[in-house]
Amino acid sequence: MINLDIFIFFQKIMKVYILKEFNSKYKLKNFNEGEYMSSADIGTNIIFKKQLGLNYEIDQKYVGLKMKENNVLSFNFRVPGDLINEVESYFKRFKLGEPILVDIGGTGDIKCDFKGLSPVLKNKDEFDQYFISATLQEDKQYNPLEEEKCETCSGCGFH
């Protein structure tokens, strides 16, 4: 059993580190204005997109992102009771290996494959707070349109 206090603390640290690393590593381009996006331009929502237009949008304050080896992304949700069923039911619709697109803060779609969903855990210390984690693997074979690439892209791995 994971000590949830340690898990929460680690998740907060990793979320700040990953967002800083993400923002500094990639100069995200806003194609509508032709300018690079600053961290202030990145939105607050994360949108998960299933085929046939079945999308799920959630505020990033409920989501922690952990990057692992082999392009594996772990999206860790810490949500109140009124959202846990939405999150769980959305991801339960996926089959293993099914494609999913993720748009973090309006920065553009990241093509991934669904790898699994953890069981729901209830936080013992907080009333009405639950944890669930969705594991995705970024598809490095994704070939974006030429206009989606960075101006100086040399295989940065982002797209």
Q: Are 63 and 46 in contact (CB under 8 A)?
A: yes
What's the pLDDT score for residue 45?
94
Spacing of C-alpha 97 from chain mean position: 17
pLDDT of residue 95: 95
E-strand spans in 18-82?
29-30, 35-36, 45-50, 54-59, 63-67, 72-80
Per-residue pLDDT for 99 more than 70? yes
Q: What tens digit of pLDDT does each residue of 56-89 get?
A: 999 999 999 999 999 999 999 999 999 999 999 9
pLDDT, tens digit (0-9, with 9 covering 90-100), for 25-63:
444 444 444 455 566 678 899 999 998 889 999 999 999
Q: What is the pLDDT of residue 142?
A: 52
Domains and CATH numbers, the chain: 4-148 (2.40.10)
